[in-house]
Structure 1
Amino acid sequence: MFEFFTDRARQAVTLSQDEAIALGHDFIGTEHVLLGLIGTDRSTAAGVLREQGVELTRARAETVRIVEADGITATGGQPAKDALSSIGIDVEEIRRRADNTFGPGAFQYPRPAYTTDAKKALELTLSEARELGHEKFGTEHILLGMLAAGEGRGLDVLAALGVDLGGLREAVLARVARDDS
């Protein structure tokens, strides 16, 4: 499916993984997908979100607040590291060697898995793009997929930031219509 994503959409997905890792989460939820969309320079979704007053720093802080309020603590993948350690594999040593060989940050372990809500939003990206008659999936389609899913912490973050979700959908569709003409 990712072969149909535009470069910026792929960048947003990669950034969502990076955000989850940076926050010490062992999952990628819609909240991380949202952060990836906001962080993608010159993308349709980022532009519309900025117009709605959504800033990356505030969205990240809201994400942390909401995740912690749900009782989820940052683990940084510690259970997976502990499991490997129990059989004699030192993940930190692997990280040091990879950083020395390939550059800082080259090795990220574990790679977080997508939550059910994030998977649903990414799956709805396809139908949103097709409904608009688009062959490639852009950041705008990912955001529309999140909105169409109707659930997930990403929507909670947007609501906490005072974004009208129905108005956001209309703003995205208006931007797409303007860009298509």
Structure 2
Amino acid sequence: MFERFSKSARFAVIDAQKEARDLKSERIDVEHVLLGVLTTADKPLADLLTAAGLTPDAVRTSIGQHKHGEPLGEEDAEALKSIGIDLEAVRESLGATFGDDALDRVEPEERRGLFGKRMGGHIPFRNSAKKTLELALREALRRGDDYIGSEHMLLGILRAPNAIARDAIEEHVTSAELRRQLEALLDRAA
């Protein structure tokens, strides 16, 4: 299937792995594929995405909020205190045991190979990310295109059942509007 990918789509898949690694994910998911597309998009697609507010930084922020939630506020601390949990005591205990930045660090377990040697290599794809690439192929076939481009990957992302990627997109543009714009862009390129 990858032989049908355009150069930018191939770079998007490669960059999805980098994004997953940078975000300390053990697997590549749909949101990493989205970031890969955003960071490697060619001029017409990049312009469309930027105009919609879909930038790599905006999506990374959205992903961070989705995965980590909003920080606990005073009301939350009071609610925990009412059931006997002192949030500051928990933070101090974690800091004393694991270091001051324990709550900020989220690192996947380091993979080790034979003789304890650290393994680099590829980060595996989650099934949802694999499904997104399959949906990109289906979008290209539906349109009669003989290649899979970054636009097709975005169309696949829009069809994928992934709340993190969908929410990151919908903060800036509706899925229906983005789909319409991507179809128009592909039609102009044909």
* Superposition TM-score, scaled by structure 2 size: 0.74
**Aligned residues with identical type, % of pairs:** 31
Deviations 1:83-130 (A, max 9, x none): x27x63131xx7xxxxxxxxxxxxxx2522212221111101111001
Contact 1:12–1:36, Cα closer than 8 Å, also in 2: yes
Q: Quick check: which has more Rg, 1 or 2?
A: 2
Q: Pairwise mapping of residues 10-159 of structure 1 onto structure 2 (< 5 A)?
A: 10-42=10-42, 44-69=44-69, 75-78=106-109, 80-81=110-111, 84=112, 88-91=115-118, 109=120, 111-159=122-170
Unmatched tracts of structure 2, length 5 or more: 70-103
Deviation at 1:60, TM superposition (A): 1.1
Unmatched tracts of structure 1, length 5 or more: 95-108
Number of residue pairs matched? 157
Following the alignment from structure 2 to structure 1, what is the Cα–Cα distance between the partners of residues 28 and 66?
14
Deviations 1:4-27 (A, max 9, x none): 101110001101110001111111
Following the alignment from structure 1 to structure 2, what is the Cα–Cα distance between the partners of residues 133 and 29?
27
* Superposition TM-score, scaled by structure 1 size: 0.77
Counterpart code for 1:60? R
Q: Residue 3 of structure 2 aligns with which residue?
A: 3
Deviation at 1:178, TM superposition (A): 1.4
Counterpart code for 1:157? A
Deviation at 1:33, TM superposition (A): 0.6
Counterpart code for 1:132? R
Q: Residue 81 of structure 2 aligns with which residue?
A: none
Counterpart code for 1:54? L
